[in-house]
Each structure stands twice: as structure tokens, then as C-alpha cells.
């Protein structure tokens, strides 16, 4: 079977909702953080290019959901002027040959095992989580605590706390704590739009890992989304391998998610 041409290739809904979440994250970020951290985002068609050089995460320094070569050129030129490590994320298995040629021509190189993209439908009845960990939604007055926990969990510099604090209480966003004996020990976030929900922000305080916090947070977000009319949930995590297992991936599979593809992370050449 021939691969689709770049002009006919379409962006999956599972990537569109993810791009929407990060565009919205940029739109609600405090202007002082945008200015001081040189946080930038450009929306192209249904995808985006996003740059936050001081964040070590690929998720905030990447091109996502863009398939047309003209748009890829625009995103590449834009991203090439940014600092830090930068990536193009692409489902290599469905990308047309001309896109692979474009990637090679610009010196973008695959790095790591890539990301697993997973999806599941909404539960038909509320799910029940049993265990010592409880969950609840984050109050607006706890936004800074939520933001600081996420920064600590993802090894972000503390000055990026306002980035994650800003989503608490905002339209489209639901933020959760997992608690043990009344103490917040983990975070989880969800962005919803057009019947889809993107799950992210899963971070656990190191000394409380392997206690079931993320399983509880997955359940809480599935129930919350279903009550809001979400029909499809999507999430991404590091692609596991025999040498590098991934607990998050295992938790999602147990929770009913199905992996739909693996996304390759193509790193921009240094100095581009």
C-alpha cells in the first residue's frame, strides 16, 4: 500500500486535542512568565510549535500536529530561531516519503524510543478506585502548591511554577491532587474540548511513588471527563522497551487505554 501524500495526510484527532491543550496553556500563562522565560507558541492549522527553553521537557519544545510540507517549513524556520533542545514529533509509520526526505534534508535525527500515544473511550459507568490514596480537585487557592509539585515532579526550575499554577480553575482544565492521609502527594491535569480529553501533568512526590497515586488520578480524570460529556480520552508517555520499562504506560493499559501508535521524536540539529 502506498503511503499517503503530504497533501492528503490528515492529523489524528488524538494529536489535535493535545495541540489544543498546549496552545491554551500558552494563552493562559502569566505575561511575566512569558516575557521572562521567553515562552512562545505558534499555531499552524490544527497543530502548533511551542518553545520554552528553560523547561527540560520535550513537550514544551516541539513541533506537533503539523503534516503539510509548507507548514513544516514555517514551523522549522520559526523553531530554528529558538534556544534549547527542539524536536519535531511525527508518526513515522504513516508519514509519506516526501516528509521523511524533508526530515533528512534538514538534519533532524530520531532520539530515544519515542512516545506512545494511547486512547480509550469514556467509561459507561463511574469507575471505582480502591486503595489508600484518595483524589480530589485542586482549589484555586491551592494553585501555587499544584504548580510547585508539578515542577518538582518534572524537574522544572521553580520559576516555572506559575506556568502550571495558571491552569487551575481555568475553563477546559481540571486539576487533581492524589492525597495520602490528607497530604497531597501527586498531581494530574486534564484538558477537554469537542468531546475529547487530553491527560497530562501526572507527577508524584518521589518518596510516595509506587503507592497507586497515578492509578487513582487516572480514574478520577476518567470519571470527571465522562461527567462532562467526554467521549474519547488520549494521553502520551514514553514508549517502553525491554531495557526501559515504563510504569506509566503499564498503568494506562490496566486502566483500559490502548496504544494506537508510537510517535518519533526528531531532534533539531544544534545551531540550526
Residues 80 and 163 in one domain: no
Domain membership of residue 64 (yes or no) is yes
Domain membership of residue 254 (yes or no) is no
Domain membership of residue 18 (yes or no) is yes
Q: CATH number of the domain that 169 lies in?
A: 3.40.630.30
Domain membership of residue 272 (yes or no) is no
pLDDT reported for residue 272: 66
pLDDT reported for residue 92: 95
Domain membership of residue 67 (yes or no) is yes
Residues 129 and 105 in one domain: no
Residues 127 and 198 in one domain: yes
pLDDT reported for residue 38: 97
Residues 198 and 130 in one domain: yes
Residues 84 and 109 in one domain: yes
- CB count within 10 Å of CB 189 equals 24
For 76, the domain range is: 13-114
Per-residue pLDDT of the chain (272 residues; tens, 9 = 90+): 344 444 457 899 999 999 999 999 999 999 999 999 999 999 999 999 999 999 999 999 999 999 999 999 999 999 999 999 999 999 999 999 999 999 999 999 999 999 999 999 999 999 999 899 999 999 999 999 999 999 998 999 999 999 999 999 999 999 999 999 999 999 999 999 999 999 999 999 989 998 999 999 999 999 999 999 999 999 999 999 988 889 999 999 999 999 999 999 999 998 76
Q: What are phi and psi of 42, to 5 degrees?
A: -130, 125
Distances (CA, A) of 220 to 55, 105, 110, 189, 270: 27, 45, 35, 10, 41
pLDDT reported for residue 244: 87
Do the beta carbons of residue 249 and residue 238 sit within 8 Å? Answer: yes
Domain boundary among 72, 92, 114: 114
Domain boundary among 59, 93, 114: 114
Residues 189 and 130 in one domain: yes
Residues 30 and 86 in one domain: yes
Domain boundary among 66, 95, 114: 114
Domain membership of residue 59 (yes or no) is yes
In terms of DSSP bridges, do strands 232-238 and 61-64 run parallel, antiparallel, or are they unpaired? unpaired
Report how many domains make up the chain: 2
Number of H helices, E strands in the chain: 8, 12
Residues 22 and 103 in one domain: yes
Residues 152 and 70 in one domain: no
Task: Please list the alpha-helical segments (H only) found in the chain.
Answer: 13-28, 31-36, 69-80, 97-105, 143-153, 161-165, 213-227, 247-254
Residues 54 and 135 in one domain: no
Residues 45 and 105 in one domain: yes
Tell me if the pTM is above 0.75.
yes
Domain membership of residue 208 (yes or no) is yes
Do the beta carbons of residue 191 and residue 198 sit within 8 Å? Answer: yes
Residues 134 and 156 in one domain: yes
Amino acid at each position: 500500500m502506498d503511503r499517503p501524500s503530504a497533501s492528503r495526510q490528515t492529523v489524528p484527532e488524538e494529536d489535535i486535542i493535545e495541540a489544543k491543550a498546549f496552545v491554551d496553556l500558552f494563552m493562559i500563562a502569566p505575561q511575566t512568565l512569558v516575557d521572562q522565560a521567553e515562552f512562545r507558541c505558534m499555531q499552524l492549522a490544527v497543530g502548533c510549535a511551542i518553545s520554552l527553553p528553560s523547561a527540560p521537557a520535550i513537550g514544551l519544545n516541539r513541533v506537533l500536529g503539523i503534516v503539510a510540507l509548507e507548514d513544516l517549513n514555517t514551523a522549522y524556520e520559526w523553531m530554528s530561531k529558538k534556544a534549547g533542545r527542539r524536536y519535531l514529533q511525527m508518526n513515522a509509520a504513516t508519514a509519506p516519503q516526501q516528509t521523511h526526505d524533508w526530515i533528512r534534508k534538514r538534519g533532524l535525527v530520531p532520539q530515544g524510543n519515542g512516545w506512545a500515544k494511547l486512547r480509550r473511550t469514556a467509561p459507561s459507568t463511574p469507575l471505582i478506585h480502591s486503595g489508600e490514596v484518595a483524589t480530589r480537585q485542586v482549589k484555586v487557592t491551592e494553585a501555587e502548591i499544584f504548580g510547585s509539585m508539578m515542577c518538582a515532579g518534572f524537574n522544572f526550575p521553580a520559576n516555572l511554577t506559575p506556568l502550571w499554577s495558571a491552569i487551575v480553575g481555568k475553563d477546559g482544565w481540571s486539576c487533581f491532587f492524589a492525597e495520602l492521609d490528607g497530604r497531597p502527594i501527586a498531581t494530574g491535569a486534564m484538558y477537554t474540548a469537542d468531546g475529547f480529553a487530553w491527560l497530562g501533568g501526572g507527577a508524584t512526590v518521589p518518596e510516595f511513588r509506587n503507592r497507586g497515586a497515578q492509578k487513582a488520578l487516572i480514574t478520577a480524570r476518567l470519571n470527571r471527563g465522562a461527567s462532562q460529556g467526554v467521549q474519547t480520552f488520549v494521553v502520551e508517555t514514553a514508549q517502553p522497551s525491554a531495557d526501559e520499562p515504563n510504569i506509566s504506560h503499564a498503568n494506562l493499559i490496566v486502566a483500559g487505554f490502548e496504544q494506537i501508535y508510537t510517535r518519533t521524536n526528531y531532534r533539531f540539529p544544534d545551531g540550526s
